[in-house]
């Protein structure tokens, strides 16, 4: 006989023994007898009333056998002969931290991930797995190592989202028979060995130096092209080159404490257009001053 049913029989006999003597006391005794049984009935009914929120379900067993899922709201459980397990249907999370995995190119990395899941079948999660969270952690650890072992380090670093999706699909296939739906499995952190980090830093520094040298070389090339075009223009107009020399001398001589001796063999043929233009401007300015 089940222990729950035995307890009910014991309680029933105990109440009967207490209330039975009152029957021989006349009408007052009968009233007391009825009140005792009414109180016992109300207490029995009240002890079986359960209120479940919207996000919970009760998996009920009667005398050890599964009889159904109840909730949400007000439900009634047979006292003693029925047992129930509360299952939360909200999204839950599990941290999978510090998992050492070896990539396809034999590099050991430490990965931190998380598993977001919810329970879709409360009966399955109670009947088919003893400790759901521990089972999910064990499955996530093994699946993560298998997936990381199939990719190289560069792919692991560049395609983290794709690997997280693969992990979610593989883990969901494992947990679906348990009544658990894996929503997502983000990879929060990938820790590399110190030696590898130093090698990556040296490679990045070398890449920056290479880019700087390429940019400087392109700048010199563009400057050389402009200088070549300028030289060709000065070759066609040599007097402009002389004027440029004068401008340089003027800019250098602006400092009053500077004495500059710069011997120049100036050909009148080369600077005659510039000198003619300067004389014309001086003559016109002097005529305007005389008229005024």
Lowest mean pLDDT among 118-122, 158-162, 171-175: 158-162
Per-residue pLDDT band at 196 (split at 50, 70, 90): confident
**Is the confidence at residue 4, as pLDDT, over 60?**
no
**Is the confidence at residue 15, as pLDDT, over 70?**
no
**What is the reported pLDDT for 21?**
65
- Sketch the domain layout of the chain as residue ranges: 3-87, 92-195, 204-236, 238-282
| Contact indicator for 193, 107 with CB cutoff of 8 Å | yes
- For domain 92-195, say whether CATH 3.20.20.70 is its number: no
**Is the confidence at residue 265, as pLDDT, over 90?**
no
Mean pLDDT of 182-192: 90
Instruction: Write out the E strands in the chain.
Output: 49-52, 56-62, 65-70, 73-76, 82-88, 92-102, 108-119, 180-184, 187-191
**What is the reported pLDDT for 1?**
42
Mean pLDDT of 196-219: 81
Gap between the Cα atoms of 155 and 149, Å rounded: 11
Mean pLDDT of 28-43: 69
The residue with greater pLDDT, 225 or 35, is 225
Contacts of 256 (CB under 8 A, 6+ apart): none
Work out the mean pLDDT of the chain and round it to a whole number.
78
**Is the confidence at residue 57, as pLDDT, over 60?**
yes
Gap between the Cα atoms of 21 and 220, Å rounded: 117
Buried b (16+ CB within 10 A) or exposed e, 128-144: ebeebeebbeebbeebb
**What is the reported pLDDT for 190?**
87
| Contact indicator for 239, 273 with CB cutoff of 8 Å | yes
Gap between the Cα atoms of 87 and 129, Å rounded: 13
Closest C-alpha to 119, from 82, 161, 87, 86: 87
**What is the reported pLDDT for 41?**
72
Percent of the chain residues topping a pLDDT of 90 = 29
Closest C-alpha to 13, from 40, 45, 34: 40
Closest C-alpha to 190, from 109, 114, 105, 115: 109
| Contact indicator for 179, 121 with CB cutoff of 8 Å | yes
Q: Residue 71 burial (CB < 10 Å; 0-12/13-18/19+)?
A: buried
Per-residue pLDDT band at 281 (split at 50, 70, 90): low
- DSSP secondary structure string, 246-261? HHHHHHHTTSTT----
Instruction: Write out the E strands in 176-226.
Output: 180-184, 187-191
191 has which bridge partners?
110
Q: Is this model's pTM higher than 0.85 or not?
A: no
Lowest mean pLDDT among 4-13, 56-65, 141-150, 195-204: 4-13
Q: Residue 234 burial (CB < 10 Å; 0-12/13-18/19+)?
A: middle
């Amino acid at each position: 006989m089940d222990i729950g049913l035995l307890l009910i029989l014991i309680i029933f006999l105990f109440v009967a023994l207490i209330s039975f003597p009152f029957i021989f006391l006349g009408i007052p005794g009968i009233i007391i007898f009825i009140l005792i049984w009414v109180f016992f009935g109300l207490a029995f009914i009240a002890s079986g009333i359960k209120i479940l929120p919207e996000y919970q379900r009760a998996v009920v067993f009667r005398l050890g056998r599964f009889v159904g899922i109840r909730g949400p709201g007000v439900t009634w459980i047979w006292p003693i002969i029925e047992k129930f397990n509360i299952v939360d249907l909200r999204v839950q999370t599990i941290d999978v931290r510090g998992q050492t995995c070896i990539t396809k190119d034999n590099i050991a990395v430490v990965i931190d991930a998380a598993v977001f899941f919810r329970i879709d079948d409360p009966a399955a999660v109670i009947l088919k797995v003893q400790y759901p969270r521990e089972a999910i952690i064990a499955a996530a650890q093994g699946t993560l190592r298998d997936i990381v072992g199939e990719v190289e380090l560069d792919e692991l670093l560049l395609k983290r989202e794709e690997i997280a999706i693969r992990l979610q699909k593989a883990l969901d296939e494992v947990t679906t028979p348990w009544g658990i739906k894996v929503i997502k499995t983000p990879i929060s952190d990938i820790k590399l060995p110190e030696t590898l980090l130093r090698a990556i830093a040296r490679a990045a520094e070398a890449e920056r130096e290479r880019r700087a040298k390429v940019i400087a070389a392109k700048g010199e090339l563009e400057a050389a092209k402009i200088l070549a075009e300028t030289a060709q223009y000065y070759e066609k107009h040599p007097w402009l080159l002389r004027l440029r020399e004068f401008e340089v001398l003027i800019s250098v001589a602006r400092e009053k404490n500077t004495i500059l001796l710069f011997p120049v063999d100036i050909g009148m043929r080369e600077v005659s257009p510039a000198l003619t233009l300067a004389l014309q401007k001086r003559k016109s300015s002097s005529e305007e001053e005389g008229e005024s």
